[in-house]
Amino acid sequence: MPSEFSDEQLNAFIDNEIDTADKQRIFEALRRDEHLRKRVCELQKAHDLIRMTYQSIDPPTGYPPPGQDRPAPRFLRGVAAGLLLAAGTLLGWFAHQQSRGDGLPELAQAIQFAPTTTGATRRIMLHVSTDDEYRLNHMLEETERLLETGRENGERLRVEILANGPGLKLVKKSAGPAGQRLQRLQQRYDNLTVAACAQTLERLRAEKGIELELNPGTTLVKSALGEVLERQRQGWTYIRI
């Protein structure tokens, strides 16, 4: 059955370039349409590969000024090799994750999921790379439901929220209603951890002179890419917001 949404519309949705009413329509369609979820995952895969591999590579230091000899070939070969390695790793990882879908609908579905192994700990990573208030509020609402349901059922559950890029808005001090709600959740649930990408913070300092002060209880990880891949190796369920 043909989809009511074009790739152009879905790309705009991924890039947060549509209004709230259109977002709501797509979110509702994603909840009921598995084929559409797979399409969005495929489109988002290309976005993630480019952004996360770029963020995983540190810029060179002590680079000579224009007009002088530069070690460009060696450096560029290193960058290319790093991008190819990271992209190849992520491509295989996304292929593994694709059957699980992507985003807020999957977080809602996770609430209904029961571990098949008695006593097993369910571990879920929520990767927040958006500053869109609509997505952040929905993510926090579903996360609270997930944590509360797990507590009521006596379930062994761990949830990690990882923020990078624009998603750091959620964990910075004086973050507004969404950040305050996240702090309340941290106080209520000791099985919820919150982490921020140190590379993004360093890049903000170096390139824009911005020093972000994070909320108490927010830990630092070296890079979002490394944390995501490590959690994947450990068997965590990954959901990108």
Domain with residue 143: its CATH number is: 3.40.1260.10
Examine residue 65 and state whether it is found in any structural domain, yes or no: no
Q: What are 134's two structure tokens?
A: 């609509």
The single residue listed with the structure tokens 């000579």 is 64
Residues 218 and 110 in one domain: yes
pLDDT at site 44: 67
**Looking at the domain assignment, is residue 67 inside a domain?**
no
Residues 124 and 170 in one domain: yes
User: How far does Cα 53 stand from its chain's mean position?
Assistant: 14
Instruction: State both tokens at 151.
Output: 């507590």
Domain tally, the chain: 2
Residue 197 included in any domain: yes
Edge-to-edge strand ranges of the sheet holding 218-221 = 218-221, 192-197, 157-163, 122-128, 237-240
pTM: 0.61
Specify whether 212 is located in the same domain as 130: yes
Check whether residue 176 and residue 186 sit in a common domain. Answer: yes
End residue of a domain, out of 81, 99, 117: 99
207 lies in some domain: yes
Look up residue 132 and give its two tokens.
């869109």
Q: How far is CA 143 from CA 100, 126, 239, 241, in A?
A: 17, 9, 11, 11
Q: 5 is written with which tokens?
A: 């949404």
Full DSSP string of 94-137? HHHHGGG--SHHHHHHHTT---SSTTPPEEEEEEE----HHHHH
Distance CA 49, CA 83 (A): 9
Instruction: Kindly state whether residue 1 falls inside one of the protein's structural domains.
Output: no
Q: Which domain holds residue 230?
A: 101-240
CA 86 to chain centroid: 16
Whether residue 32 is found in the same domain as residue 80: yes
> Do 172 and 211 fall within a single domain?
yes
**Inside any domain, residue 22:** yes
Say what the pLDDT of residue 114 is.
53
Q: What is the pLDDT of residue 23?
A: 82
Do 92 and 107 belong to one domain?
no
Does 116 share its domain with 211?
yes
Residue of 112, 180, 120 whose CA lies nearest to 146: 112
The verdict on 95 and 179 lying in the same domain is no
Together in a domain, 55 and 123: no
Radius of gyration, CA atoms only, the chain: 19
Q: Which two tokens stand for residue 8?
A: 């152009």
Residues 6 or more apart in contact with residue 82 via CB below 8 angstroms: 53, 56, 57
Contacts of 198 (CB under 8 A, 6+ apart): 220, 221, 222, 223
Instruction: Give the contacts of 132 (CB within 8 A, at least 6 positions apart).
Output: 16
Residue 182 inside a domain? The answer is: yes
Same domain membership, residue 136 and residue 234: yes
> Residues 149, 120: one domain?
yes
Q: Considering the domain boundaries, does residue 203 fall inside one? A: yes
Per-residue pLDDT of the chain (241 residues; tens, 9 = 90+): 456 788 888 878 877 778 888 888 887 887 778 788 777 766 766 665 555 555 544 544 454 554 454 444 444 444 444 444 444 444 444 444 433 334 666 676 666 555 545 578 899 999 998 888 888 998 999 999 999 999 998 889 999 999 998 999 999 987 688 999 999 999 999 999 999 999 889 988 988 888 888 988 999 999 888 898 899 889 998 888 8
